[in-house]
Amino acid sequence: MENCVFCKIIKGEISSNIVYQDDDFVIFPDLNPKAKLHYLAVPRKHFALLSEAGYDEEILIGRILKKVSTLSKTLGLENGYRIIINQKGEKGNDAGQEVMHLHIHILGGEKLN
Ligand code: 5GP
Ligand code: ZN
């Protein structure tokens, strides 16, 4: 998708420090971390919202979540982590989703409030 910052990162047009990648998704640190460790897990396929997900995307999201659990030690998240998915709504954006390419925030590395 043109003008999508995460598509550009996935294509290598914007640099990021990718810490994990496979055929389905990539994980890289958030540019403006909200915790000592803050990663984004981003499907290679561009779609913005969970409401748009079909069966393949449902499976994909499940795969990502499970993979994050197996990578947790590698990512420095042995003490646990928090997962957040911000979602824009039909009428507003209470969650403040900024990037309209579905992504999973993974936060940890310290005690979170
Ligand atoms: P959202 O508010 O959409 O859930 O989160 C978007 C996140 O993407 C923000 O936490 C923001 O810091 C991060 N972000 C935006 N642009 C870039 C970028 O170019 N590189 C990286 N690594 N993160 C970005
Ligand atoms: Zn995209």
CATH number at residue 30: 3.30.428.10
Question: Does residue 113 fall inside a structural domain?
Answer: no
Name the residue type at position 69: S
Question: Does residue 81 fall inside a structural domain?
Answer: yes
The per-residue pLDDT for range 60-107, each reduced to its tens digit, is 999 999 999 999 999 999 999 999 999 999 999 999 999 999 999 999
> Which of 30, 38, 46 gets mutated to test ligand 1 (max ligand atoms within 8 A of its CB)?
30
Other beta carbons within 10 angstroms of residue 63's beta carbon come to 14
Return mean pLDDT, the chain: 98
Question: Does residue 54 fall inside a structural domain?
Answer: yes
Cβ–ligand 1 contact at 6 (below 6 Å)? no
Q: Model-level pTM?
A: 0.97
Q: For residues 101 and 23, give the distance between their C-alpha atoms in angstroms, rounded to a whole number.
A: 17
Going from the Cα of 24 to the center of ligand 1, the distance in angstroms, rounded, reads 19
